[in-house]
Amino acid sequence: MTCAESEPALTPADQKSPLITLTDVAAEAGVGESTVSRVLRNHGSFSEKTRAKVMAAVEKLGYVPNKIAGALASTGSPLVAIIVPSLSNIVFADVLSGVTKALEAKGHQAVFAVTDYDPAKEEALVAAVLAWRPAAVMLVGLEHTDGTRRMLHASGCRVLELLDIDGEAIDIAVGFSHHEAGRQTAARLLESGYRNIAYVGHDLKHDMRSGKRFAGFLEGLANAGLELAEQEIRDAPSSVSEGRAGLADVLSRGRPIDAVYFSNDDMALGGYFHCLAERISIPDQIALMGFNALDICRHTPQPIASVFTPRIETGRRAAELFLEGAPSQVVDLGFTIVAGATI
Amino acid sequence: MTCAESEPALTPADQKSPLITLTDVAAEAGVGESTVSRVLRNHGSFSEKTRAKVMAAVEKLGYVPNKIAGALASTGSPLVAIIVPSLSNIVFADVLSGVTKALEAKGHQAVFAVTDYDPAKEEALVAAVLAWRPAAVMLVGLEHTDGTRRMLHASGCRVLELLDIDGEAIDIAVGFSHHEAGRQTAARLLESGYRNIAYVGHDLKHDMRSGKRFAGFLEGLANAGLELAEQEIRDAPSSVSEGRAGLADVLSRGRPIDAVYFSNDDMALGGYFHCLAERISIPDQIALMGFNALDICRHTPQPIASVFTPRIETGRRAAELFLEGAPSQVVDLGFTIVAGATI
DNA sequence: TTGTATGCGTTATCAC
DNA sequence: GTGATAACGCATACAA
């Protein structure tokens, strides 16, 4: 942490000093280039003495190996591409955390992009990241354009599809069944005696997984010979405000409602806030159920009933499977219904 | 979107088919390699006829340019490294969104890493990303180890420090003054007549910026000849639960408190929930003030007073300055106090 | 307008 | 244990 010499007053952009290369280090250490390479990667054989010489030279020159060149010369790439629909939803940030944490321990680098839930944009981004010859591409969900699939197939790199297993996987899929989650949620509400059930959701056009949960939920109701009493599907991404407005809308229609299923916890939290503001008693007058079991909803005055989803675990597991060189497979990490105090 | 031929049943990992290169395309199109390169980058001159030939060959072979090779051959790298402290805090996800959105439009790729608020880990990550010879490195905050600074200086790439301007910038800093935000927050509470003010915060050891806000807040009180009535600093990252527990703790001490300043909105939301649970009237019995003006806190039954911070804008602006090749500078994007209904 | 040759900074394959 | 040398796939003069 000592820095005896004062830094030059140059802007980083100014100094055009050609960066130190392997060749410089070799010259400084008085050894061959391949020896430096071997020492630095701790690969092959060399004497302790040369090792010291090389390390001294590296230290003295402040050499940082150029991975661009390394990746080109060697066969395998240490890059992993991660493409998520959004970052405003904490769910994807969690997955990203899980992935990067597992990856950086093994010296891999994450290359990152956001699709905004647009399959066409996803295709463009896949093309862009594929140009970096990543060892693996991680995507969210199983729904992709034909072009995306084709490129992925042709690339020859591993493909990890996260957070969904309801469908055909390209290579490896890690997640859980949203359809089943919806179905079990319906069963849970019915079990508690609710019969006049409403749904408040966000745009299922773009978020395919919330659509699958909804379908599963309807199936769960149908199994008991029931239908939804009311439904309100907002034409916007999920948010607290949409959830709040959505519940207000449903209740304004006057039909008796005793439970509401929200497309996720952000929406459910909005509904919860509406009830607080309108002094609607929970769960006596209305029961609320969300999805994801976000930390925030566990600390509301009444914890909101939800479904815990293994998000960080999904990211971590996917990274591990890739690192292990695991064969193509589908990994079901499951989910857990969390009762809370709102049902 | 048509896919006439059925895909081979091979696992992506199986097919070792050597990928298509520029040379293959050149051969297929019956032109030279440089011609293909020029057409693909739309740089230099070529006839419309050869362009068509090249594009046809590219299409037919499904060629994807290798940017690794491209980056090595050309001088500049299209990679931008982004290193954030965490992703569980939506603030950094916002910044990341802003950055990537502005970047991808210009064909740049984001390389990404998370420090977990650990300066030593940040140093290691900076070393790791520098190996990819990025055109720029984006970091959060102005506090870094000497080693980090030295590497950054030596790298010769642009350095963008985000979300803070209280201190010495390496190259370009984009953000606002946390010290000033804290000071103005104190002034605002005093203006509303509050005098028995408590602070509930999270670990300032790691989150330097919350420490700066706290210092500014204390200064603001001192300017009016006041001191904090109570303070509770949790030894954990900010979260709703810590905020809730922190406020409970402060109130349990029995001293009269009429306003509480939280280190951020996550903490403030926890405090708000505590008040709801304990039927503490807001702002009559206690006023609450947070920081960041997160969307979620704008939709609670009573919107929580806070300070809006330009997070996405910070990311966007930083990316733009880099893209413009702007000179070293400090950009103050400011902040805005949002009254809400809790003060 | 187009093709050829050289180099980018490594890794890997050899001889030594 | 060590050091030349040939790839790696592309961009960039430069020549044609």
**Testing the interface with B: which of A292, A300, A321 to mutate, by most B Cβ within 10 A?**
A300
Task: Give the range of the structural domain holding residue B42, as residue numbers without chain letter.
Answer: 18-65
Q: With respect to residue A7, please indicate whether it lies within any of the assigned structural domains.
A: no
Number of other residues whose CB lies within 10 A of the CB of residue B233:
17
Please state, in angstroms and rounded to a whole number, the distance separating the CA atoms of residues B92 and B209.
13
Q: Is residue A106 part of a domain?
A: yes
Q: What token pair was written down for B275? A: 């008040």
Q: What is residue A190's DSSP assignment?
A: H
Residue A169 located in a structural domain: yes
Considering the domain architecture, whether residues A27 and A119 belong to the same structural domain is answered as no
Beta pairing, strands B79-84 & A336-338: unpaired
Q: From residues 29-88 of A, which are strand C contacts by CB within 7 A?
A: 33-34, 37, 40-41, 43-44, 63, 65-66, 69-70, 72-75
Locate the chain B residue with the closest alpha carbon to A111: B111
- Based on the fold, state whether residues B168 and B315 are members of the same structural domain: yes
| B145 and B246 housed in the same domain | no
Query: Tell me: the pLDDT tens digits for A166-214?
Result: 999 999 999 999 999 999 999 999 999 999 999 999 998 889 999 999 9
Look at residue A5 and tell me if it is in a domain: no
Kindly state whether residues A182 and A303 are assigned to the same domain.
yes
Q: What is the DSSP letter of A305?
A: B
Q: Which of residues 259-298 of A touch strand C (CB under 7 A)?
A: none
Q: Are residues A212 and A293 in the same domain?
A: yes
Q: What is the CATH number of the domain that holds B39?
A: 1.10.260.40
The whole-angstrom separation of Cα B35 and Cα B46 is: 7
Q: Residues A79, A149: one domain?
A: yes
Res. A53: pLDDT tops 90: yes
Q: Which residue is nearest to nucleotide C3 (CA to C1')?
A: B32
Q: Is strand D within 7 Å of residue A47 (CB)?
A: yes
Say if residue A343's pLDDT is above 70.
yes
Q: Indicate whether B188 and B293 sit together in one domain.
A: yes
The domain total for chain B is 3
Residue among B19, B65, B299 minimizing CB distance to A240: B299
A132 touches strand D (CB under 7 A): no
Average pLDDT of the residues in A64-77: 91
- Domain shared by A183 and A279, yes or no: yes
Residue A8 lies in a domain: no
Q: What angle do CA B157, B210, B307 make, to 5 degrees?
A: 100
Nucleotides of C under 7 A from a protein CB: 1-5, 7-13
Q: Please list the pLDDT of chain B residue by residue as tens digits (343 residues).
A: 333 333 333 333 434 456 899 999 999 999 999 999 999 999 888 999 999 999 999 999 999 999 999 999 987 789 999 999 999 999 999 999 999 999 988 889 999 999 999 999 999 999 999 999 999 999 999 999 999 999 999 998 999 999 999 999 999 999 999 999 999 999 999 999 999 999 999 998 889 999 999 999 999 999 999 999 999 999 999 999 999 999 999 999 999 999 999 999 999 999 999 999 999 999 999 999 999 999 999 999 999 999 999 999 999 999 999 999 999 999 999 999 999 999 9
**Cβ of residue A21 lies below 7 Å from strand C:** yes
Is A342 among the domain residues?
no
B303 with B182, same domain? yes
B52 touches strand C (CB under 7 A): no
Residue B192 shares a structural domain with residue B251: yes
One DSSP character per residue, A36-87 reads HHHHHHT-S---HHHHHHHHHHHHHHT----HHHHHHHSSS--EEEEEES-S
Residue B91 located in a structural domain: yes
For the CA of A132 and the C1' of D4, the distance in angstroms is: 30
Distance from residue A45 (CA) to nucleotide D1 (C1'), in Å? 7
For strand C, is any atom closer than 7 Å to the CB of B100? no
Q: Does some domain include residue B8? A: no
CATH number of the CATH domain containing B279: 3.40.50.2300
Q: What is the C-alpha separation between A35 and A32, in angstroms, rounded?
A: 5
Domain match, A35 and A55 both = yes
Contacts with B154 from chain A: Cβ below 8 Å: 62
Residue nearest to nucleotide D8 (CA to C1'): A73
Asked if A131 and A188 sit in the same domain, the reply is no
